[in-house]
Structure 1
Amino acid sequence: MFRISKEFHFSASHQLCQLPPDHQCARLHGHNYIVVVELAAAKLNSFGFVRDYHELAPFKRYLDENFDHRHLNEVLGHDAVTAECLARHFYDWCKSRLPETVAVRVSETPKTWAEYRP
């Protein structure tokens, strides 16, 4: 199996309203998010790629136009905007456009990652 991945960045705020009020993540706060999209294929295409990295440009535009410097609770319309939730959301978006998508990872801090991989 051939695998490729590409990293994307955006900054945004969120608030985990479902947590107790004294939990630090219940307060409004922000992160410099890192999103890694992973694609895989058993065979390479006629150009020798799983997928040309340039074909991931629409995902970068999606992040820039809808997520960068926004409040994620408003963007996604719910109170539980966790890294896990974002990983699933971005996986679904990518999978519907790039069938080779096998996983999406989201980082909120340099030491934490969440991944959605069916």
Structure 2
Amino acid sequence: MKITQAFTFEAAHRLPHVPLTHRCHRMHGHSYRIELRLEGPVDSHTGFVVDFFDVEAAFNPLIAQLDHHCLNEVEGLNNPTAENIAVWIWNRVRPLLPLTAVVVYETPNCWAEYNG
């Protein structure tokens, strides 16, 4: 069984490794959407792969580090591309949950998906 739980947060960032003329070199913000995709057997007693409240509890400490912050100032995110944010989340959540993918949407039309 596959399940997905989505989260949102607001944050600013700049991409330090693009040319000075690239618009993402300047500080700007996004309304990020994160999808945590999980997979596993359905527990016959609970009926869950993982309780969504447990997913939320595992991810809330990371949201607290990201929401309304400058991502460049978050430990490990000095180059906060969608790709790097996805890996950063994976490395922190995967030990806690049976993740199969982390999807980071910078906009409704642009995203990165990481599956380890």
Equivalent residue number for residue 29 of structure 1: 28
Unmatched runs of 5 consecutive residues or more in structure 2: none
How high is the sequence identity, in percent, across the aligned residues? Answer: 37
Q: Is the 8 A contact 2:77 2:84 kept in 1?
A: no
Mapped to 2, the partners of 1:78 and 1:54 lie a distance apart of: 27
TM-score between the two structures when normalised by the length of structure 2: 0.92
Give runs of aligned pairs for residues 5-24 of structure 1, distance below 5 A.
Answer: 5-24=4-23
TM-score between the two structures when normalised by the length of structure 1: 0.91
Structure 1's consecutive aligned runs of 4 or more residues displaced over 4 angstroms after TM superposition are: none
Tell me the CA shift for residue 77 of structure 1: 4.6
Unmatched runs of 5 consecutive residues or more in structure 1: none
Q: Is the 8 A contact 1:83 1:114 kept in 2?
A: yes
Tell me the CA shift for residue 79 of structure 1: 3.5
Q: Is the 8 A contact 2:59 2:93 kept in 1?
A: no
Equivalent residue number for residue 106 of structure 1: 104
Q: CA RMSD in A?
A: 1.3
Q: Aligned residue pairs: how many?
A: 115
Matched, 1:47 2:49: no
Compared with structure 1, are the counterparts of its residues 3 and 27 closer, same or farther at alpha carbon in structure 2 (3 Å cutoff)? same
